[in-house]
Amino acid sequence: MIGIGIDVVDIERFRTSLQRTPSMRLRLFTPSELAYVEPQVDPVPSLAARFAAREAVMKALGLGLGAFGFHEVWVERAESGVPSLAFTGRAAELSAEAGVTTWHLSLTHSNLVAAAYVVCE
């Protein structure tokens, strides 16, 4: 194992940030992520979990916020519903430099918080 990262996001605080700065959705999330959450009655918990995933990846690599762009790591979903991480650009380079060959991701949310747990091997 190379690293573990976990991040928790307060959903209402995240909702307020998205409402205050609508362009934040486009800055933080890929078109595929936005398309995935679009049909949901309340997409904010899912978006918060995806934001947490990015932060958890940075922590698993031992990096701080801003180590790579938000569009360089994103969450994908298999038909079965299993989430996975996708990488490009600087995030992919940092992952390769750390020797990561496998990423594991778990997402969850309640009415109050969203969380992501990441393990890299």
Given this model, what pLDDT does residue 65 score? 80
Is 21 part of the annotated catalytic residue set?
A: no
d(CA 65, CA 12): 21
Question: pLDDT tens across 101-116, in order?
Answer: 999 999 999 999 999 9
Q: What does the DSSP 8-state code read for residue 1? A: -
3-120 belongs to which CATH class? alpha beta
Q: Which of 59, 72, 73, 95 is catalytic?
A: 59
CA atoms within a 13 Å half-sphere pointing along the CA-CB vector of 108: 7
Domain spans of the chain, in order of start: 3-120
Question: pLDDT tens across 88-101, in order?
Answer: 999 999 999 999 99
Is 59 part of the annotated catalytic residue set?
A: yes
Token pair 């990423």 in the structure block, residue: 103
In this predicted structure, the answer to whether residue 27 has a pLDDT above a threshold of 90 is yes
Got the DSSP string for 57-96? HHHHTT--TTSS-GGGEEEEE-TTS-EEEEE-HHHHHHHH
Given this model, what pLDDT does residue 64 score? 82
Q: Which of 54, 109, 113, 120 is catalytic?
A: 109
